[in-house]
Chain A
């Protein structure tokens, strides 16, 4: 089966909608409205047994009566009707997605789910779902929910939960993520997550992959796909339901020691997949991997730079706990920083702590000079800059934060070592400060500088970056 088989689902030229009502608002109606609002430019064919028109579009009594081949069929009809419906798709539909619930996730629904999978095979149609919400792809102008960005990006997501899929899109886009596609997969009766991972691995539009999985008996397939990929694209995995289930009573020592989590930990170690354990850490890692160019050596030495002594101390603790080296700079770099004659209260060893006012000296060039020295210091793998927005925004006559972001960008672009540059924007919760943070975040992430709310999130995201870098070094070393 060709790996291009799922492209029609993300960028369909013709969509059939089964489960839209002629006189009320069903799931299919909402889907058609979302498509129209999102600017979908292809053709939509509502399928309805009796109505001539649905949502202002000509309706057809069956998929077979639609005049063109269907790339993607959206199915939201009662579960018992689904298998026969899928059989009617034979030769007419490339990929179908079944939103309906009432299959394997309910007691007594397993037989119907097996029937669905059999019907899919009989009809020669690949079926995503059942029990899911849909597909989002800004490039194909398809979406299954409202308020989704139409800006295409490079992050591809396979999500086993529909609701969490909406969270990933909405919270993710507000964090600066831009998606190549997101597919909710539900019960995975036919199409397995590993097949969609293969799709994203092969898709030229995708450079980072995120997975939310709960467990579908596809662990082995996923392991094999990821291992064969040799980390050619970074993958972040949020695994739900990491408690023991379905394991026989352990009859030996090893059985008792093997919790169901061990396999997922092993998968992370053996494939370079970044393991995370919350939605926020999932998004944090994806933002870093969307923005940063992975280095040839694992990120180890970090320079911390910003305003605020206590934050510098706590930030150093967070970075060291995450396994990074925040040791003092080399003597040459320290001398260069001292030559800048920073004001009293500054510290130049690492962390570099400079009062906000001093950063703006010499028409904003002071911060630029500091960052240039830090990024060219020998052995520095990453620069983490933290800014206390409450303080910085009190300098009302200048756009100090904008200048700092511009300086960070210039430094990153000029850095010979291409050290990672990461920004932490610390706010106080006031609405105006939050609004400014939002604005600066979009600007920085859009330019390729990942932004975090706190240092601990930055430290954890950087450790995800290091996980991938270190894996690549290990497999490279083993193959030479």
Chain B
């Protein structure tokens, strides 16, 4: 049985590992866009974060377990996103998806930017909230200082 039917034959099937705030948010967005999405989490209570209109599938289980990944039909997935709160689990899921199931597009969330070298070595795309936040704050600060400079120039 196939979990999702592909009308056009092209694969559009995203697996999200970890139903935290980020995972649930992403799953809701993809589902709202009318695309196929499956979300895995160890804890069944985590799925409460999904919106009532969520139209994807949820699986309770350990995503580092091959049986659970088979159940999620990872072979058919076009994208695997690992966003659990544990960096090491994210690394392992990403490596399993990439090297055992040949998933081309694998994205991981990374809390500790120091571990990035492991990902870089394996060519896995990472999102690091700490780095992103720092960049954004810096950008806002830079904007503020330029606008201050401009306004002080205007005052003169």
Query: Do A and B originate from a single complex?
Result: no
Which A positions have Cβ atoms within 8 angstroms of B? none
Which B positions have Cβ atoms within 8 angstroms of A? none
